Amino acid sequence: MAKMIHSMIRVLDEARSVEFYGKVFGLEIADRIEFETFTLIYLSNRETGFELELTVNQGRVEPYSLGDGHGHLAVSVDEVAVEHKRLAEAGLNPGKLVELNRDGKLLALFFFISDPDGYKIEVLQRHGRYL
């Protein structure tokens, strides 16, 4: 059986991205591997074995075009309203808090936030299938 281990995104500024993911999601550098033309930075925390891989291509100055194929990353938190308030107070502009119901029951409580490169991250309340 396959095990999901990481997802990769390309970023322009390593320091800016590492700071964002640390401040917003408590991710820290688990590994950093430099090559001649690019660097791989693996971010993780104690909550999960899944990692976010940041790829920084040396010499890249133009922002990446995210196109229309990329959807979003998703994380779950204990108290989504508390996280929303914390990020808003930090000036990180989280989107509005959304309650999604199905058949009269709460399916999901969430908001979106964008990282420095424009990638969307969904922040979900731990509930139901979103544990």
Using one digit for the tens of pLDDT, what is the confidence trace for 15-25?
999 999 999 99
User: pLDDT by residue (tens digit) across 75-102?
Assistant: 999 999 999 999 999 999 999 999 999 9
Going from the N-terminus, what domains does the chain have, and what CATH number goes with each? Answer: 1-61 (3.10.180.10), 71-131 (3.10.180.10)
Q: Would residue 47 be called left, alpha or beta, if left means φ above 0 and alpha means ψ between -120 and 50 degrees?
A: alpha
